[in-house]
Amino acid sequence: MLKPYKPCKRVGCPELVRDTYCDKHKPPESRRDSEGWRYLYQTKRWKQLRVSHLLIEPLCRECAARGERTRATDVDHIRDHKGNAQLFYAADNLQSLCHSCHSRKTARENERAGI
């Protein structure tokens, strides 16, 4: 039995689809396959690295560049690791950001990737 048609999940897209997104708004395969490396964020090694990084760099790097002092809550990968464990755990690839700056950075990256 076929699923009923429903609107594409992309806000404002009127296209009717049987799944989640229309062909125009379907996320790239690399994003959908990203689940394969999500486990890295649950490892003891990452959790310890994250805490130690926030202790070393407690303020948001983006806010500091604007002359503001904001407590960092997120540890961001400067270069996308794409599941490469060596790059994922590399201390020189990490920066502390507040949640707001991290969300903005992620949104920009997703926009560039067409997501």
Nearest to 75 by CA among 46, 104, 96, 45: 96
C-alpha of 109 from chain center: 8
The number of C-alpha atoms within 13 Å of 65 and in the hemisphere containing its C-beta is 8
pLDDT, tens only, 43-79: 999 999 999 999 999 999 999 999 999 999 999 999 9
pLDDT at 30: 47
Residue 1 lies in a domain: no
Give the pTM.
0.68
Reported confidence tier of residue 109, pLDDT bands at 50, 70, 90: confident
Split into its structural domains, the chain has a count of 1
Is 82 contained in some domain? yes
Domain that holds residue 64: 6-112
Q: Which residue has the higher pLDDT, 19 or 101?
A: 101
Q: Domain for residue 95, yes or no?
A: yes
- 72: in domain: yes
The pair phi, psi for residue 59, each rounded to 5°, is -105, 150
What pLDDT is recorded for position 24? 86
Is residue 32 included in any domain, yes or no? yes
Is residue 64 domain-resident?
yes
CA gap 69, 59 in Å, rounded: 6
Q: Is 60 a member of any domain?
A: yes
For residue 21, tell me if it sits in a domain.
yes
Q: How far is the C-alpha of 57 from the C-alpha of 70, rounded, in Å?
A: 11
